[in-house]
Structure 1
Amino acid sequence: MSDATSVRVVLIGLGNLGRRFARLIAEKHESLVRDYGLDVRIVGAADSRGAAIDRGGLNGLEIE
């Protein structure tokens, strides 16, 4: 993974699209690294109820 390009993403809005995008990134993480050399991580997420930030990456499967 050290050769992969780091891509850090912050999601603003966690409606249907935001949650689905987070899940998709989590589910496809390994293939994004392997096939495209992209280490995509969601490092922040916010909506009207609050925000979460983790420089190491949030678990896209747990974002609600």
Structure 2
Amino acid sequence: MSYGPYLIDQYRRVAGYVDRILKSERPADLPVQEPTKFELAINLKSAKALGLTVPQTCSLAPTR
């Protein structure tokens, strides 16, 4: 199981930074942004091998 930032959202935010830099803003002047969306990944095969029960609602693919 892992929990981390939703990478697709991060890529979109990077595109905004690139746009601002190409419009002559200094990278040092841009604010640091923390992730706002996160995702949880569960390896169902490993969970089953460990004898863990994962609810059906957790094992569905996310809708984006």
TM above 0.5: no
Relative contact order, higher structure (CA 8 A, sep 6+)? 2
Name the structure where helix makes up a greater proportion of residues: 2
Flag the structure with larger Rg: 2
TM-score grouping bracket, smaller chain normalisation: under 0.3
